[in-house]
């Protein structure tokens, strides 16, 4: 079956513009995660969705970042008024939803803010 997909694969934008990044999780997975990976670094947790529960937004770095998940499936990560320090790879992962379950990652979206 299909894995986690993300679009676009690459995004170049100008400072101050808004961007939307999309994640399509594995069908049937109730948990969805967003991470940010800066060059040569590990993954930084951003936000977590589980079913219909309120998302854990504790990792979002500022109020310019927001995410939603429609219908318990597709998720969109929005960055408003992008800054150069937002440049990174944004990774999405999904899991069946139980604690300690394996997270399956998408290929990521590489965001470059000029």
Partner 1 sequence: GESVGLHLPTLSVQEGDNSIINCAYSNSASDYFIWYKQESGKGPQFIIDIRSNMDKRQGQRVTVLLNKTVKHLSLQIAATQPGDSAVYFCAETPDSSYKLIFGSGTRLLVRP
Binding mask 46-85 for partner 1 (x = CB under 8 A): --x-x-----x-----------------------------
For 1-114, strand residue ranges (E) read 5-7, 10-13, 19-24, 31-37, 43-50, 65-69, 75-79, 88-95, 104-105, 109-113
- Report long-range pairs for 54-63 (Cβ below 8 Å, ≥24 apart): 61/36
26 binds partner 1 (CB under 8 A): no
Query: Is 105 near partner 1 (CB under 8 A)?
Result: yes
Is 42 a binding residue for partner 1 by CB under 8 A? The answer is yes
Binding site for partner 1 (CB under 8 A): 4, 31, 33, 35, 40-45, 48, 50, 56, 91, 93, 95, 99-100, 102-108
């Amino acid at each position: 079956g299909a894995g986690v997909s993300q679009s676009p694969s690459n995004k170049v934008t100008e400072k101050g513009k808004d961007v939307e990044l999309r994640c399509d999780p594995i069908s049937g997975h109730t948990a969805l995660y967003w991470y940010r990976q800066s060059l040569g670094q590990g993954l930084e947790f951003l936000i977590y969705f589980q079913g219909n529960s309120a998302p854990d937004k504790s990792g979002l770095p500022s109020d310019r970042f927001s995410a939603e998940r429609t219908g318990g499936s597709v998720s969109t990560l929005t960055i408003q008024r992008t800054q150069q320090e937002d440049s990174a790879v944004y990774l999405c992962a999904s899991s069946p939803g139980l604690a300690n379950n394996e997270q399956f990652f998408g290929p990521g979206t590489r965001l470059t803010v000029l």
